[in-house]
Amino acid sequence: MKNKYFILNHLFISLLILTLFFFVSGYIFYSHYRTNFSISFGAEYGAIAQTMMEGKGYSNPFYFESGPTAWMLPVLVYLIFFVISVFGNGYLGFIILTGVKLLCYVLALYMAIKFLRIEKDIEHLILFLLLFFLYFVFSPYENFGMIIDLWLIVFVEMSFLYAFIAYHQTHHTRYFIYLLGVLFLIPLLSPGFALASATIVLLYILNTIRNNFKTLPENSALSAYIKAVFARKSGQRSLLPFVLMGLSFMLSIVQIH
């Protein structure tokens, strides 16, 4: 039996329409009321990509001859470089990159709703969407006028949590491969998030090891040591501490940006 709400029956399409409407409205409003508004291909990211277009290599992140750089990580730089190589560094290139950004936000929303299991709960779904779109309001230029890395970090964060939780719940090979792919991408995008994800994965591995040692004899010295180090009241495996820690790390990353 279908739900009476369109958004619950067609979640991805609804998220795409809502995000597109929000982006178009936000761009029109912000570009109209911001003094000297102009599009930007990501400040340092765009500067490096433009320098690569000029044949000077991965350098000059500040729009002057400063030489080779490791100031910005390569994922977004090469994406911008590819787009402006094909479509130019005008409005067409900006629209293409904005389309990629919009799609990544929609996918991030979809994955978050799925692993929170609120796709059939209209009240919690609306509250979550309001909070998510409120994030755009607090960083309007970064979302509507620039191709900066906030959207890419949000997308990879949600991909990591989605793959991590799905693998924990199912132990399916495809989620393990998906998780490995995300973990490969993270260090090329954000050192802070790489540290956060590595910490979460390490704690998960240690937690799994601790649970596996429950089968050791009670008088085993190794068993006693493991239980002393990883002791807790409940013997049931829980993912909540890891998710909470991951979210706290990610909030810190957003604040830094």
- pLDDT tens digits along 43-60: 788 889 989 998 888 988
User: What single string gives the DSSP state of each residue in 164-221?
Assistant: HHHHHHH--HHHHHHHHHHHHHGGGT-HHHHHHHHHHHHHHHHHHHHHHGGGS-TT-H
From 139-148, 227-236, 241-250, the region with the lowest mean pLDDT: 227-236
Question: Looking at residues 169-189, what average pLDDT do you find?
Answer: 88
Percent of residues, the chain, with pLDDT higher than 90: 16
Spatial neighbors of 154 by CB under 8 A, at least 6 apart, are: 104, 105, 108
Parse the chain into domains and list their residue ranges: 149-257
pLDDT of residue 83: 92
- pLDDT tens digits along 241-256: 455 555 555 554 554 4
> What is the C-alpha to C-alpha distance for residues 59 and 69, in angstroms, rounded to an integer?
5
Kindly report the pTM of this predicted structure: 0.77
